Amino acid sequence: MIEERLIEAAFEGRNNAYAPYSEYRVGAALLTENNEIITGCNVENSSYGLCNCAERTAVFKAVSAGAKRFKAIAVAGGKNCCKEQGDETEDYAYPCGACRQVLREFCSPLEFKVIVARSKTDYKVYTLEQLLPDSFGPDSLV
C-alpha cells in the first residue's frame, strides 16, 4: 500500500534529522506525480530562525530535481525519538503553517493527501484543503 511505503520513507528520512536544539526530529516523504518518493528531514541551525522543516526540505529537494506536482506527503516526527526507539512516535506530527502554504504551491488542495503517522499502522489522512482551507495559491494571481 502506498501509504505504508510513504510512511516507511518518512521514518527513514527522520533518521537524518539534524535537530540538536529542539531534539524534535521530523522526517517527510513526498510522492510525486510520477510516483517517485522524495524524502526530507528537519535541518536546524545555531541561528534558530534558519531552521528548515522536513516537509519543506522534501519539497525543495523535489522541485530542484525537476518535480513540480505532488500527490501526497507522509510526516513522522517527535521529541527525543531516534532510530533505536524504532519507527514509532508518541504523537502525530502535523505540518506547520509555513509548510502547508509551501505545499499549496505545488499541490491540488482537494486531491493532495497529508498523512501524519505515529507508526506504519497508526496514521491519519487529511486533504490539504482540510489543513489549509480557503487557501491563497498560484490561481489567486491569475
Site track 32-71 with ligand THU (rule: CB under 6 A), x = hit? ----------x-x------x-xxx----------------
Bridge partners of residue 36, in order along the sequence:
none
Rounded to whole angstroms, the Cα distance separating 67 from 6 reads 17
Q: Is 55 a catalytic residue?
A: yes
Rounded to whole angstroms, the Cα distance separating 27 from 38 reads 11
CA-atom Rg of the chain in angstroms: 14
User: Least distance to ligand THU from the beta carbon of 54, Å?
Assistant: 4
User: Does residue 103 belong to the site contacting ligand THU (CB under 6 A)?
Assistant: no
In terms of phi and psi (left: phi > 0; alpha: psi -120 to 50; beta: otherwise), the region of 129 is alpha
User: Does residue 96 belong to the site contacting ligand THU (CB under 6 A)?
Assistant: yes
Size of the site for ligand THU (CB under 6 A): 13
User: Does residue 127 belong to the site contacting ligand THU (CB under 6 A)?
Assistant: no
Residues with Cβ within 8 Å of residue 91, at least 6 apart in sequence: 78, 118
Residues forming the active site: 55
List residues binding ligand THU (CB under 6 A).
19, 22, 24, 26, 42, 44, 51, 53-55, 95-96, 99
